[in-house]
């Protein structure tokens, strides 16, 4: 088997460029926008119904061209020296409030962030999401990558940060020095 690795969008764009000539048999991504890109180009074979049936309908598109196989959670990592559990935000939306200015970090330019925005839009609507993004712009320190956010939280540069959960577990599985 030949394995090609890359960013979600980089891999998706490569597949679309190769079209029907692509040597790829399987495409695995972390976030669904890259799946949608390849699906919209008509490059997927339908997933077998028996395979689809093993996954809850909330975790796969109705067209059955791909299926979720794992989940990730958006979490707020916090520095225990700076924040006590009682001080934590009750919701992601709280971080857009003025009292959180300069206190938290996020990596909005990476492949993971659009999924957070999409989830907010699906759950709370466009107006609430826009307000949250404006609050993020006003309040958050911007980092490049979730790993950098985790590191900054751990070092106390910010009190907390919005990341995907596996960056914490990934660091713990190595040296744990950034978590
Ligand atoms: Fe990621």
For residue 75, give the 3-state DSSP assignment: strand
Q: How far is the CA of 19 from the centre of ligand 1 (A)?
A: 26
- Give 100-150 pLDDT, tens digit per residue: 999 999 999 987 898 899 889 999 999 999 999 999 999 999 999 999 999
pLDDT tens-digit profile of 47-91? Answer: 999 999 999 998 899 999 999 999 889 999 999 999 999 999 999
Residue 111 Cα to ligand 1 midpoint, Å, equals: 7
Per DSSP, 132 falls in state H
Rounded to the nearest angstrom, the distance between the alpha carbon of 70 and the centre of ligand 1 is 13
Residue 139: name the closest of 86, 92, 175 by CA.
Answer: 92
**Residue-range domain boundaries for the chain:** 8-59, 74-173
Task: Confirm or reject CATH 3.40.50.1010 for domain 74-173, answering yes or no.
Answer: no
Could you tell me the distance, in angstroms and rounded to a whole number, from the CA of residue 119 to the centre of ligand 1?
16
């Amino acid at each position: 088997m030949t394995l090609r690795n890359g960013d979600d969008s980089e891999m998706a764009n490569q597949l679309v460029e190769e079209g029907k000539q692509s040597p790829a048999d399987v495409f695995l991504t972390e976030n669904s926008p890259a799946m949608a890109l390849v699906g919209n180009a008509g490059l997927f074979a339908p997933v077998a119904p028996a395979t689809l049936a093993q996954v809850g309908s909330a975790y796969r598109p109705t067209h059955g061209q791909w299926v979720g196989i794992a989940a990730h959670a958006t979490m707020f990592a916090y520095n225990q020296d700076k924040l006590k559990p009682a001080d934590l935000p009750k919701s992601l939306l709280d971080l857009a409030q003025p009292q959180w200015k300069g206190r938290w970090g996020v990596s909005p330019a990476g492949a993971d962030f659009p999924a957070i925005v999409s989830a907010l839009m699906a759950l709370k609507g466009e107006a609430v999401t826009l307000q949250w993004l404006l609050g993020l712009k006003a309040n958050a320190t911007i980092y490049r990558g979730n790993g950098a956010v985790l590191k900054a939280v751990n070092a106390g540069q910010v009190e907390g940060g919005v990341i995907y959960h596996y960056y914490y577990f990934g660091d713990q599985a190595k040296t744990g020095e950034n978590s």
